[in-house]
Structure 1
Amino acid sequence: MIRAVIIDDEKNNIENVEGLLLKHELPVTIVGVATNADDAISLIVATNPDLLFLDIQMPGKNGFDVLKALPHYHFEVIFVTAFDHYGIQAVKFSAIDYLLKPVNPDELKASISKVDAKLNQRKQNFQLENLMALIRNKDAKKEHKLALASIKEIRFVNTGEIIRCESSNAYTQFYLTDGKNIMVSKPIFEYEELLTNYDFIRCHQSHLVNSKFIKSLIKEDSGYLLLNDDTRIPISRGKKENVLKTLHTLKK
């Protein structure tokens, strides 16, 4: 059984998660609950759980503050939260599971299944460590690492190591500066949302490009981006205006 604690400032949310775990007979035992950050920290230290169900937004100290106060991350985390733009962006960057309130039972089951698989491997939680590095250094955006989960591994790459992303149906292929490619089972629009603030440009339905690797914009043949390695990336008609505007802004 997975030993878990629930941390949420609203008791009805705690009861909801407990009820869903019980109703669907999921392999989770709740060893404690807390309704504020300070109690949560004490509870985690005292119970040494396998899993935290952690709310991001709480009065005073939030869920990230709870994690900042802990010296080690020998547990998994499922964030259970109302939508929080920056918080969710950071969580997605590290490929950590989150559930939006009200919790969907099927999504809860899927998250528990992933946690169970990770705990069986008993590896250090690099995803959580990456998340906390992101939270602590949120203004130093160029130093952030993106978690890319492939079939074989989760690789953490600096945003500056990513040359471009290419869509393949529900998958996204990442092309890296070391010459390697990584296929991730998430659609490209999710990475557009994450990488726009790192000077990536969506120039086509199937392409997302790191502007630092753009050599020039070629106007012939309907227009395309020429990269430093001479790769040609098409520009769709509907995105041409935004590409021109973005490149002009980045040059300033």
Structure 2
Amino acid sequence: MIRAVIIDDEKNNIENIVHLLKKHELPVTVVGTATNADDGVSLITASHPDLLFLDIQMPDKNGFEVLKAVPHYQFEVVFVTAFDNYGIQAVKFSAIDYLLKPIDPEELKASVSKVGAKLMQKKANLQLENLMEFIKDKDAKKEHKLALSSTKEIRFVHTGDIIRCESSNAYTQFFLSDGTNIMVSKPIFEYEELLSSYDFIRCHQSHLVNIKFIKSLLKEDSGYLLMDDNTRIPISRNKKENVIKRLHTIKK
């Protein structure tokens, strides 16, 4: 059984998670609950849980501050929030699971299943460590690492080492400056949102590129971007104006 702690400032939210876990007979035992950050930190330290259901937005301290107060991350975290935009960029950047309130039972089942698989591997929670580095140095964008989850591993890649991303149906292939590439089972639009503030530009429905790796703009047809790795990336007609504007306003 997975030993879990729930931290949420609203008791009814805690009761709902407990109810759903029992109703759907998920392999989780709740060993403790807390309704504020300080009690939550004490509970984590005392109970050494496998899993933490953690509310992001709480009145005294938020969920990230709870994690800052914990010295070691020997547990998995599933964030719980009522707001899609509250802290979610940081969570997505590190490929950590989150649930939106009200909690969908199927999404809860999927999260518990993934946690169980990770615990079987008995590895350090590098995703959580990456999240806390992101929170700590949120203004040092060049230092941020993006968690890319493939079928074999979760690889942490500096945003500055990504040349481009290419869509393949519901998958996205990342092409890196060291010549390797990684296939991830998420659509490209999710990464467009995450990388928009890191000088990436969506030039085509199937392509997202790092501006610093653009060598030149070719004016054939509706236009192409010639990248430093000599690949030619098409520009959609409806995106051409925005691409040219971005190239003129951002220095490589």
Classify the TM-score, shorter chain. Answer: over 0.9
In the other structure, the counterpart of 2:206 is: 206
Q: Residue 231 of structure 1: CA displacement?
A: 1.1
Give the letter for the 1:216 counterpart: S
Residue in structure 1 matched with residue 48 of structure 2 by the alignment: 48
Partner of 1:144: 144
Provide the C-alpha distance between the structure 1 equivalents of 2:201 and 2:213, rounded to a whole number of angstroms: 11
Q: Aligned-pair distance for 1:85?
A: 2.2
Report what 2:220 is aligned to. 220
Q: Name segments (4+ residues, structure 1) moved above 6 Å.
A: none
Identity %: 81
Q: Distance in 2 between matches of 1:247 and 1:231?
A: 18
For 1:4 and 1:230, the matched residues in 2 are separated by: 50
Q: Which residue does the alignment assign to 1:38?
A: 38
Corresponding residue number in structure 1 for 2:110: 110
Deviation at 1:86, TM superposition (A): 5.1
Aligned residue in 1 for 2:250: 250
Structure 2 unpaired stretches of 5+:
none
Mapping 1:224-235, distance limit 5 Å? 224-235=224-235
Matched letter for residue 187 of structure 2: P
Query: Letter of the aligned partner of 2:63 in structure 1?
Result: G
Q: How many Å separate the matches in 1 of 2:114 and 2:174?
A: 23
Instruction: Using the TM superposition, give the Cα deviation of residue 40 of structure 1 relative to its aligned residue in structure 2, in angstroms.
Output: 0.3
**How far apart are 1:222 and its partner, in Å?**
1.8
- Report the alpha carbon displacement of residue 251 of structure 1 after superposing the two structures with TM: 3.1
Q: Give the match for residue 191 of structure 2.
A: 191
Secondary structure, aligned partner of 1:233: strand
Superposed displacement of residue 245, structure 1: 1.5
Query: In structure 2, how many angstroms separate the alpha carbons of the residues matched to 1:93 and 1:23?
Result: 32
CA shift, 1:84, in A, is 4.8
Give CA deviations for 1:23-52 in whole Å, capped at 9, x if unaligned.
Answer: 000000000001111000000001000000
Q: Deviations over 1:140-176 (max 9, x none)?
A: 0110000000000000000001000000000000000
Q: Secondary structure at the match of 1:165?
A: strand
- Counterpart Cα distance in 2 of 1:32 and 1:75: 14
1:13-92 → structure 2 map (5 Å cutoff): 13-85=13-85, 87-92=87-92
Contact 2:84–2:100 (8 Å) recurs in 1: no
1:85-127 alpha-carbon deviations (Å, 9 max, x no partner): 2510000000000000000000000000000000011100000
Contact persistence 2:141–2:198 (CA under 8 A)? yes
The 1:141/1:86 distance shift into structure 2, 3 A limit, reads farther
- SS, match of residue 203 in structure 1: strand
Deviation at 1:229, TM superposition (A): 2.1
Q: Report deviation, 1:219.
A: 1.4
Q: Output one character per residue of 1:217-237: Cα deviation in whole Å (capped at 9) or x when no partner.
A: 111222011111221100001
RMSD: 1.0
Equivalent position amino acid for 1:110 in 2: A
SS of the residue 2:156 aligns to? strand
CA contact under 8 A between 2:165 and 2:209: conserved in structure 1?
A: yes
Instruction: Please list every run of 5 or more consecutive structure 1 residues that lacks an aligned counterpart in the other structure.
Output: none
| Matched-pair contact (CA < 8 Å) for 2:94–2:131 | yes
How far the C-alpha of 1:216 sits from its partner, in A, is 1.2
Amino acid in the other structure paired with 2:11:
K
Cα shift readout 1:199-231 (whole Å, capped 9, x = no counterpart): 000000000000000011111222011111221
Partner of 2:250, secondary structure, is helix
Is the contact between residue 91 and residue 97 of structure 2 (CA under 8 Å) also seen in structure 1?
A: yes
Output the CA distance in 2 between the equivalents of 1:60 and 1:142. Answer: 31
Q: Distance in 2 between matches of 1:191 and 1:84?
A: 16
Matched pairs, number = 252
